[in-house]
Amino acid sequence: MSEILVLNSGSSSLKFALYANTTESTTATSEANKDPALKALSLTYRGHFSGLGTKGAAVSLKQVAENGQEHALDELSVADNHEGAITKLMAWLASREGGGALDGIGHRVVHGGQRYREAVVLSAKDVDELETLSSLAPLHQPHCLAPIKLLMARYPEVPQVASFDTAFHADQPWVAKQFALPRELTVKGLIRYGFHGLSYDYINRTLPEVLPDAAACERVIVAHLGNGASLCAIHNGKSVASTMGFTALEGLVMGTRSGTLDPGLVLHLIEHEGMSVKDVSTLLYKQSGLLGVSGISSDMRELLTSDAPEAHEAIDLYCYRIAREIGSLAAALGGVDQLVFTAGIGEHAARVREQVAAQCEWLGVQLDNDANARNETRIAHVDSRVGMWVIPTDEERVIASDCLTQLGLV
């Protein structure tokens, strides 16, 4: 039985998961036949180093039994930074009884640019190529590539696979990818890529199992509302539009990112507010969004429990932008059959879903308030014309499944 390690590196966190490949024991079942690469994976451990580089650094590690029950372990200590987290993780892996020999390591890489349209077994040349995209995803790409380089040097015999946030969107219609810029810039790759593709891929593969048999699912909108946030329009299983573009800055209001704004405002900041390119980058990536508007926090949990009017203004703007963009994606799809909420906020913040739903009633969206308050999977009222769902995302499982496929293990 082979074992796969998955790393999902964020700007201040490192999520990881360990899977056993159970292909031989499960391929005969009808479960496995639904999506063999996803179902062949049995999660054995999952963990999360969070708050890396901050005072609030924390760590969690859970062992997962075959029946899915989780058992917290205290075998990992808090790390200060990404390198420390990986060093601790590898030491723990090697110390496990019967553990240590990995068959592959799968990584989330946020930007794949024009070249990387699907997961790939990484060479050192690929890593160099992906490094050239770091300025297009400054909060993510360096943190995705650092562990790859570290692990390649330490474990040259273990193949490493990259799964890209951009890949799910690679075949969007050209009109959805273009900016109205001169052609010489467009051909250089200044186009809309879209992100959170691993999460959308997971939801796209999972939704058919959740929907009742006869439910229409030609036109689906997925709201990935985490620290970063975006929407994706999926038509017959393919991404056709997304709110994120050239970088993960476009679109919705996020924890610390502004989302869409008038490009003339950026010019104004440089021309009249004396800001450098670096200042503007820091402002838009790290000081805006929920944090900037509320002046309190980038964390939705904190805003939801705050009495400050600024916190409520931030939540109102957050929901308003989502509702407006749902309208835009519904236009791209020619309507909507199913609306799915996922990621930290999408899965847990009933009030956000309620506000968004109220502003989308014109689309035929009608919420079951009780089901919504209980974070149930199905949250649409029986009279709703549009199906509404809360589905926990699992980017790590998609990465592991890409890893099995790329390494020929499934």
Instruction: Draw the binding track, 67-106, toward ligand UVW (x: CB under 6 A; -: no contact).
Output: ----------------------------------------
**Which residues are annotated as catalytic?**
165
Decide if residue 106 touches ligand ADP (CB under 6 A). Answer: no
Strands (E), 51-174: 58-64, 70-73, 104-109, 120-121, 160-164
What phi, psi does 375 have (nearest 5°)? 55, 35
- 346 labelled ligand-binding: yes
> Taking the complex as a whole, how short is the minimal distance between the CB of residue 15 and ligand ADP, in angstroms?
7
Stretch that binds ligand ADP, among 57-65, 201-209, 300-308, 380-388 (CB under 6 A): 300-308
Nearer to Mg ion, 225 or 233 (CB): 225
Contacts of 181-189 with CB under 8 Å at 24 or more apart are 189/113, 189/114
Beta bridge partners of 42: 20
Beta bridge partners of 20: 3, 42
3 state SS of 280? helix
* Distance (Å) of CA 206 to CA 163, 202, 203, 229, 410: 18, 6, 5, 20, 19
Decide if residue 10 touches ligand ADP (CB under 6 A). Answer: yes
Nearer to ligand UVW, 169 or 196 (CB): 196
Stretch that binds ligand UVW, among 52-60, 173-181, 220-228, 356-364 (CB under 6 A): 220-228
Torsion angle of C-alpha atoms 322, 326, 328, 329, degrees rounded to 10: 130
Q: Which of residues 323-362 bind ligand ADP (CB under 6 A)?
A: 343-345, 348-349
Return the residue matching tokens 């476009």: 250
Instruction: Draw the binding track, 305-324, toward ligand ADP (x: CB under 6 A; -: no contact).
Output: --------------------
3 state SS of 48? strand
Decide if residue 227 touches ligand UVW (CB under 6 A). Answer: yes
- 228 labelled ligand-binding: yes
- 8 labelled ligand-binding: yes
- 197 labelled ligand-binding: no
Count of C-beta atoms within a 10 Å radius of residue 228? 26
Q: For 388, which DSSP code?
A: E
Beta bridge partners of 164: 109
Report the residue from 12, 59, 133, 165 that binds ligand UVW according to the rule CB under 6 A.
165
Between CA 112 and CA 248 the distance in angstroms is 12
Decide if residue 141 touches ligand UVW (CB under 6 A). Answer: no
Decide if residue 300 touches ligand ADP (CB under 6 A). Answer: yes
Return the residue matching tokens 């573009």: 245
Check the CA dihedral 362-364-370-374 and report its sign. negative
Nearer to ligand ADP, 140 or 169 (CB): 140
- 226 labelled ligand-binding: yes
What phi, psi does 356 have (nearest 5°)? -65, -45
Nearer to ligand UVW, 116 or 195 (CB): 195
* Nearest Cα to Cα of residue 93 among 59, 45, 57: 45
The annotated binding site for ATP is made up of 15, 224-228, 299-301, 344-348
Residues that bind ligand ADP (CB under 6 A): 10, 13, 226-228, 255, 299-301, 304, 343-345, 348-349
**Annotated binding-site positions for Mg(2+):** 8, 395
Per CB under 5 A, residues contacting Mg ion are 226
State the residues that interact with ligand UVW by CB under 6 A: 10, 110, 140, 165, 195-196, 226-228, 248
